[in-house]
Amino acid sequence: MDALFDTINVKDLLSTGDLTDPTSPLSAPDLRLLKARLESHSLQIKSRIQSYLLSHYTDFSSLFSLCTDAVLQTNAINEKLTGLVNLVSDSKIDVEIREIVEEESEKMRELKVKRELLELVKGIVGISQRLRGVEDDLKNGRLKFAAEEVRVLKIILRIGDNVDDEKEPVVYGLLRKEWLDCFEKIQEVLVKFMENAVTFEPDSGGIRVKYQLSIDGIIAGLDLRTVLEALEVLGILGYGLAKVADQMFKFLIIPAVNSRSSFSFIEDSEKVSEEMTEATLKMVQSFDAKIEVVDGESIYSGVARVVRFIFERICFQNVSWIRCFGRLTWPRISELIIANFLSKAVPEDASKLADFQKIIKHTSKFEADLKEMNFISTSDSADQKLSNFAENVEVHFASRKKTEILAKARNLLLQCNFTIPEEYTRKGLPRMNAGTAVHIVDLLFVSEKCVVSKAVFQLMELVHKTLKDVCFSSTRVALEFYHAARDAILLYEAVIPVKLERQLDGINQAAVLMHNDCLYLSQEIQGLAFEYRSDFPGCIKEHAVFVDLAPRYHVMAWEILHKQIQLVIFNLKEAIDGADGFQNTHQMQQFESAKFSIDQVVFILEKVHIIWEPLLLPSIYKKSMCMVLESVFSRIISDILLLDDMAADETLQLQRLIHLMMESLTSLMESLIAVNQKEKSEEYSRFTLDDFIPSLCKICKLAELLDMPLKSITTAWESGELLRAGFTMTQVKDFIKAIYTDSPLRKECLWRIENVSL
């Protein structure tokens, strides 16, 4: 059939040469030929179709018959459906059917609810009966069965779950309350049984265990094992054993650990018909004299004997029961043994640490015995408190020694009063006796002696002793000692500035002594590594550092000294301010005021001289005092040179004031000259005192200028003498104008000063 409908190709109906040019139109003969051939081809198709239909006549006939039957059936169904629709619409039967279905559904729901309520009532009644059964079992001594029932009912009633009571029937709350009452009753009964089963005799130091138990004659003939099983079933074994554990710890363990005399435990038992009815354990003290507990063997054996009695006579060698008892008592037992024995047995001297090995051995054996009885866990390292403490004895020893070292260092610093004996002078540098508050020490990197406080001297003695112990100690101990030495040094920085807070705000010996302490510490610290590092243990040798502490004390020393210098300079400036710029000193009142100011300056300088010279290093004393004198002289020179008009008498009075001041400072200047000459002789310095106090020469020259003729002043400037003394051309000119009135001579001198080349 597909061949009848093949696509007709026009090219096949024409000759090949007719279509050589696709763009050229067909001629009339070509069109007629094409029409004829198309008609012939159409007749062929019609003939083929007719032949196909005739050959498949039967098939087409059956197909048409089937289609006719389908149409007839469809018409019949349509007529029936139309009749049914008409019937329903006339009688409203669909409404009746819907009502019947809804009523049936409602009845089924009610039936389901009633069945559920019935089941609920049956469950409630069953639970209530089981709860009453628990009470009956309790009265009849069936404690284990009652405990199991309580445990099952706890799950059924969801006790302990987060239940919303508002969404549950009220009866559930009542049942839970009834269950709680049953639980409390059985718990109370079991606890009473345990109290009757295990009793203690404090006076005789004994324990008595009964195996046949009764309560007030109501429940009799119950054995201890059943009570323990019931406690375990209820999940309150720890609660039931808690009181027994407390009394065991109080009346047996504590006496055994604290006893300082030999003792032993004696066990006894009673049997009836080969069944044990009672067991006792008593602690018997020896009548021998008190002995010292050395290695703890007696303590460990006594405690182990008590634990074994518990394991065998109370817990019946049940692993879970003895573990529960261990959890209740072991933390307290281990802490008691550590506090009352192990910590006290830690040696005071590092040389005796080896003797502690016996204690470590007995401690390990004791814990092994407890593990064998399952009193403590074999896998939990937290239960090995005693072994851990004993094996770390070096750490405990070092920690205690570190605490002692720091406590001693703190006491030394707090008790020192930083006072200087009145009879003390630097001359001869006498060594102080043990009762004095200061010591004279040799500085490591400076060839000078230094006065330091007794506190810092003893502190460094303590540090040196500690570092010597580092050299002969094990690694862990050495590390603690090393940190103790560092912390002891740092204590000075933490304690002394607070202790001397008020003194540091004034000019006094304590502040200077603290400066010396810091200087001494900075130098001693730098030498510690050189002195001890080679003898330190390997790991300490690599990490021990002290040099980082030296700069902080060096800075502290400089800050303290700088603050003292600034305080002195401030007081001196206040004293000079009282002179009111040295104006009008030719008037008696103004002269007295200026002289009083100079007297105050001298007093302050002498006070500083008395405090500083005996205590400070000569080089530091010289530099510090020169700074102070420079500030005083430069201020006085400045005030005098600022005067714009001076009478003849006034210049003489100013000269007198300068001479009075310099004469009063003779001893101070001599001390500075002596220090400078000593340094020169030892080739420490090639400078003169004028180099350290530039204003010294200037103030002396100013005193001369106040009584010098005008020409002499001019000549002194031209010779360069005044320039070398520190005067400037402006200062000299203003000075001349202030003293001498305007005149041809003054003009000439001023011209010469201006035009001289220096």
Spatial separation of the C-alpha atoms in residues 607 and 586, rounded to whole Å: 30
3-state secondary structure 413-476: HHHCCCCCCCCCCCCCCCCCCCCCCEEEEECCCCCCEEEEEHHHHHHHHHHHHHHHHHHCCCHH
Q: What pLDDT shows up at residue 162?
A: 61
Per the model's pLDDT, the better-predicted residue between 221 and 297 turns out to be 297
- In sequence order, the β-bridge partners of residue 199 are 208
| Cα dihedral 306, 310, 313, 316 sign | negative
Q: What pLDDT shows up at residue 169?
A: 62
DSSP run (H or E) holding 653: helix 648-664
Spatial separation of the C-alpha atoms in residues 449 and 618, rounded to whole Å: 9
Span 241-269, pLDDT tens digits? 899 899 889 888 888 888 766 677 788 77
- Pick the range with the lowest mean pLDDT from 3-12, 139-148, 497-506, 564-573: 3-12
Percent pLDDT > 90 in the chain is 26
Q: How confident is the model at residue 433 (pLDDT cuts 50, 70, 90)?
A: very low
pLDDT for residue 431 is more than 50: no
Q: What pLDDT shows up at residue 432?
A: 47
DSSP 8: P
| pLDDT mean over 175-180 | 72
User: What is the gyration radius of the CA atoms in the chain, in angstroms?
Assistant: 59
Q: What pLDDT shows up at residue 87?
A: 67
Spatial separation of the C-alpha atoms in residues 423 and 718, rounded to whole Å: 53
| pLDDT mean over 338-363 | 79
Q: What pLDDT shows up at residue 289?
A: 45
Span 151-177, pLDDT tens digits? 777 776 667 666 555 556 666 667 677
Using alpha carbons, select from 388, 390, 392 the residue that is nearest to residue 380: 388
Per the model's pLDDT, the better-predicted residue between 61 and 275 turns out to be 61
Spatial separation of the C-alpha atoms in residues 77 and 74, rounded to whole Å: 5
| pLDDT mean over 177-197 | 80
- Pick the range with the lowest mean pLDDT from 94-103, 163-172, 373-382, 500-509: 163-172
Q: How confident is the model at residue 556 (pLDDT cuts 50, 70, 90)?
A: very high
Percent pLDDT > 70 in the chain is 82
Measured from the Cβ of residue 625, the count of other Cβ atoms closer than 10 Å reads: 25
Q: What pLDDT shows up at residue 663?
A: 93
Spatial separation of the C-alpha atoms in residues 407 and 641, rounded to whole Å: 60
Q: 620 φ, ψ to 5°?
A: -70, -40
Spatial separation of the C-alpha atoms in residues 207 and 209, rounded to whole Å: 7
pLDDT for residue 434 is more than 80: no
Q: What pLDDT shows up at residue 436?
A: 59
Q: What pLDDT shows up at residue 528?
A: 87
| pLDDT mean over 430-445 | 66
Query: Quick check: helix, strand or coil at residue 706?
Result: coil
Q: What pLDDT shows up at residue 9?
A: 63
Q: How confident is the model at residue 351 (pLDDT cuts 50, 70, 90)?
A: low
- Pick the range with the lowest mean pLDDT from 152-166, 302-316, 496-510, 587-601: 152-166
Q: How confident is the model at residue 6 (pLDDT cuts 50, 70, 90)?
A: low
Q: What pLDDT shows up at residue 683?
A: 60
Q: What pLDDT shows up at residue 24?
A: 64
DSSP run (H or E) holding 265: strand 263-272
Q: What is the mean pLDDT of the chain?
A: 82
CA 703 vs CA 162, 390, 659, 696: distances in Å: 103, 83, 7, 11
CB–CB of 692/622 below 8 Å?
Answer: yes
CB–CB of 252/208 below 8 Å?
Answer: no
Q: What pLDDT shows up at residue 288?
A: 54
Q: How confident is the model at residue 555 (pLDDT cuts 50, 70, 90)?
A: very high
Q: What pLDDT shows up at residue 428?
A: 43
pLDDT for residue 421 is more than 70: no
pLDDT for residue 504 is more than 70: yes
Query: Quick check: helix, strand or coil at residue 351?
Result: helix
- Pick the range with the lowest mean pLDDT from 401-415, 465-479, 500-514, 552-566: 465-479
| pLDDT mean over 293-307 | 81
| pLDDT mean over 706-713 | 90
Q: What pLDDT shows up at residue 429?
A: 46
- Pick the range with the lowest mean pLDDT from 131-145, 208-222, 437-451, 619-633: 131-145
Q: How confident is the model at residue 517 (pLDDT cuts 50, 70, 90)?
A: very high
3-state helix, strand and coil shares in percent for the chain, rounded to the nearest 5? 70, 5, 20
Span 402-419, pLDDT tens digits? 889 999 999 999 988 887
pLDDT for residue 345 is more than 70: yes
